[in-house]
Amino acid sequence: MSVRLGTIRGMHFQSEPHAQGKLVRCTAGALFDVVVDIRRGSPTFGQWVAETLTPENGVQLWIPPGFAHGFCSLEPNSVICYKVTSYYSAECDKGLRWDDPAIGITWPDSADPDTLSPKDRLQPLLADLPEYFSWKA
């Protein structure tokens, strides 16, 4: 649960051998949910997409391995629900900077950087991210 409006979480992913696919939905409140392609060589490398998730609209978002995921709460007390393809692995837990100018995510006006976790404040830029995933045509 993200209690505060504008809470930012992300951008997260897991590397091999415990890479995760994620199916996410919002069960309370509302979320601006973001996905970034981090597969080196992909025609969409570094590009992002976003969806608004609410219990009312029923939208779910599938995030395959090779994509970083994050969100911003659009209402207080927003809840995200995950189904994942692999268990959490601290060793494989990785991230990407939420406000990397090379990616240029247009976050909602309510996005509050003060809500970032200490871990999320230290994530690398895309240009500094090792090649965890590569694209295969």
| Residue 93 binned pLDDT confidence (cut-offs 50, 70, 90) | very high
Indicate if 18 belongs to the active site.
Answer: no
Give me 22's structure tokens. Answer: 């994620």
Confidence at residue 99, expressed as pLDDT on a 0 to 100 scale: 97
Residue 87 has pLDDT above 80, yes or no: yes
Angle at 84 between CA 81 and CA 89, to 5 degrees: 110
CATH entry 2.60.120.10 includes domain 1-88: yes
Residue 2 has pLDDT above 90, yes or no: yes
Confidence at residue 136, expressed as pLDDT on a 0 to 100 scale: 84
Domain layout of the chain by residue ranges:
1-88
* Bridge partners for 82 per DSSP: 24
3-class state of residue 128 by DSSP: helix
Catalytic-role residue among 18, 69, 82, 87: 82
Confidence at residue 128, expressed as pLDDT on a 0 to 100 scale: 97
CB neighbour list of residue 79: distance below 8 Å, 6 or more residues apart? 1, 2, 26, 27, 28, 29
Indicate if 12 belongs to the active site.
Answer: yes
Residue 72 has pLDDT above 80, yes or no: yes
